[in-house]
Amino acid sequence: QEQLVESGGGLVQAGGSLTLSCAASGRTFRNYAVGWFRQAPGKEREFVVAITWSGATTDYADSVRGRFTISKDNAKNTVSLLMNSLKPEDTAVYYCAGTSLKYGLRYQYTYDAWGQGTQVTVSS
C-alpha cells in the first residue's frame, strides 16, 4: 500500500510561482503513475496533470497547460509540480494520487493511493 504526502502549498500573489511536492513511501512500494487533482470550495475535484511511471509521458488539463510543469524522480519516489503564472482561480486544495495503471489517468477512480492535500491560495 503506497502512501503519498503533499507539501509546498501556501499563499502567493497572482502571477507568482509555487512548487508542490508529492512523496511516496511504503514497505510494498511499486512504480506508479501520478496525477494531481484540485478542489476549490463549492466545486468538484478536477484533474490537473498526470505523468506516467517512467516520466516519459505527461497529460495536462487545458486550464494549466503552459503554466504548470510536472516532473518525476523515480529513484526518490518524488513528483514535483511547478506552478507558474498563478491565477486566483488556481486557488484550491491540491492532491496527488498514485496508480499502477497506465491508462485512464484523467479519472479519479483510476487511483488507489492519495495524499491528504495541500492548500494553495492565490491572492488577487
pLDDT digits (tens, 9 = 90+) for 68-95: 999 988 778 889 999 999 999 999 999 9
Residue 13 near residue 122 (C-beta atoms within 8 A): yes
pLDDT score, position 31: 72
Query: Taking residues 45-53, what's their average pLDDT?
Result: 94
Asked whether the CA dihedral 66, 72, 73, 76 is positive or negative, the reply is: positive
* pLDDT digits 0-9 by tens, 2-41: 689 999 999 999 999 999 999 987 644 567 899 999 999 9
Which grid cell sits at 44? 468538484
Query: Taking residues 111-120, what's their average pLDDT?
Result: 95
pLDDT score, position 30: 61
In three-state secondary structure terms, 55 is coil
pLDDT score, position 98: 92
| Residue 1 pLDDT exceeds 80 | no
